[in-house]
Amino acid sequence: MNFPMIITFLLYFMVILTISSFASRRTKNLSDFILGGRSLSGAIAALGAGASDMSGWLLLGLPGAVYAFGIDQIWIPLGLSIGAFLNWQLVAKRLRIYTEKANDSLTIPAYFENRFPGGRHFLRLATALIILVFFMFYASAGFVGGAVLFQTSFNISYPMALFSSAFIIILYTGIGGFLAVSWIDFFQGTLMFFALIITPISAYHQLLGIEHLAPLTVIGQMNPNFLNAHSHLGLIAICSLLGWGLGYCGQPHILVRFMACRNAHEIYKAGAICMTWMVISLLGAIATGLLGLAFFSDLPLSNPETVFLELAKALFNPWITGVLFAAVLSAIMSTISAQLLASSSALTEDAYLRYIRPQAGHSEQLWISRMTVFIVAAMAMGFAYNPHNTILNLVSYAWAGLGSAFGPVILLSLYWKRMTRQGALSGMAAGAFSVIIWNSLHHLGGIFALYEMIPAFILNVLTIIIVSLKTPAPSKKVTQLFDEVIKAL
């Protein structure tokens, strides 16, 4: 047994549960559980958005992709960086103001219903359903990452690793709600940041200073294409990788961080912090994958997505390795907890309280929210039970589904006064179904090899515009609210 790592993990869990316990005492009602009472500072919102966005993909999936294919994987980080920047610039402040003025909307489904009132709540129900379906895949990717981490750390079976990691995540999410998730994400985002700085720097130092190997020379000798940014990528492949950036404005677990800022002025500070954290972390992940190629050139890894973990084990003593492994768990936990909370909010706020028990008191609302966290987690673990699922594939599908279904609706709802409820519902359906259909056609190749989010996003935009122009204009009350938000900017 690796006792230093076990002790490090136990200390990490104690910190997490202490924060959860403290947050639980601050969680008095459903608003606190779902949105933290809109009390987040810029720094906590920034690292919360970054950490919940990147997940285990940042320390497992991206380094693994670079290790397997080389530098041509930089197109995904480039697309994500552009998309995140535009999300902070175009969406964050407007959404924070609009959700507060639109009947204090606590969730994305609630915002859509209050932005486009009427229609027997079909829009709200459709939004909640799409969130639940695609978050099943997204959360399962995190559970796969957690299981891989526990397998590598403690040499246990995949099912045991899956249940062990899931237990911790479900426990602190259910106890503390949004405040616990946000405060822990700040701690975890900091840990991830330093892990992605220290690991590639140490690997480079050992290769160059001790082994006397120039990493780029070693990689070039292995395969020159590893250092070519478009070695085996055509236009469709590059567009597909860049297209990941389109997904940002449609991710509920990221958008909710904007909504939870204590005021709109915190958005500017949060955006600057988040983008700095994100760019440096992405560069660290890319460097980790490349240096892993050189470091393990004599004995290639069977699973590329373990390159960060294997580097940590090879470079550091067990105590530091334990801290770095905890950083991976941090990345995984931050995203799963945000997704579980968003799914729980959709079930509780948008289904249970709307149709089953509208008169439920604060205590009942909290217990239902916590119960739905466990239900959603159990469903996601069902997808994750197959150890052959890769993190990147699961995240890719879920990211496309959420981004294509909600992204255009969010953007146009914030900028186009003439948009109607029918346009929003039709566009959302077009985006979601297009992702499912296009993904099933990937095997045909050609244009169908294009990342499904790109055609689905475009179809969603066109559908919203056409249907909105063909249906009656919004009521005066709706347009007046839109004007109020514009004046408040």
Q: What is the CATH number of the domain that holds 305?
A: 1.20.1730.10
pLDDT at 395: 77
Q: Which two tokens stand for residue 174?
A: 């259910």
Does residue 182 sit within a domain? yes
Does residue 455 sit within a domain? no
Q: Which two tokens stand for residue 41?
A: 């500072």
Top-confidence residue, 282 or 348? 282
Contact 142, 394 (CB under 8 A): no
Has residue 396 got a pLDDT over 70?
yes
Range of 302's domain?
3-10+30-392
Q: pLDDT, tens digit, for every residue of 427-445?
A: 999 999 999 999 999 888 8
Has residue 177 got a pLDDT over 70?
no
Does residue 52 sit within a domain? yes
The tally of domains found in the chain comes to 1
Confidence band, pLDDT 50/70/90 cuts, at residue 243: very high
Averaged pLDDT for residues 236-255: 90
Has residue 98 got a pLDDT over 70?
yes
Does residue 400 sit within a domain? no
Rounded to 5°, the CA angle 416-420-426 comes to 110
Does residue 303 sit within a domain? yes
In angstroms, rounded to a whole number, what is the distance separating the alpha carbons of residues 209 and 65? 26
Which of 97-101, 203-207, 393-397, 476-480 is predicted least confidently?
Answer: 393-397
In angstroms, rounded to a whole number, what is the distance separating the alpha carbons of residues 463 and 248? 20
Q: Which two tokens stand for residue 185?
A: 């994400």
User: What value does the CA radius of gyration of the chain take, rounded to a whole number of Å?
Assistant: 22
In angstroms, rounded to a whole number, what is the distance separating the alpha carbons of residues 76 and 247? 12
**Mean of per-residue pLDDT scores for the chain:** 84
Averaged pLDDT for residues 320-336: 78
Specify burial of residue 14 (Cβ count, 10 A radius: 0-12, 13-18, 19+): exposed
Does residue 440 sit within a domain? no
Does residue 38 sit within a domain? yes
Averaged pLDDT for residues 411-438: 95
Does residue 407 sit within a domain? no
Confidence band, pLDDT 50/70/90 cuts, at residue 211: low
**Is the Cα torsion angle 116, 117, 122, 127 positive or negative in sign?**
positive
pLDDT at 456: 96
Averaged pLDDT for residues 31-37: 64
Averaged pLDDT for residues 319-338: 77
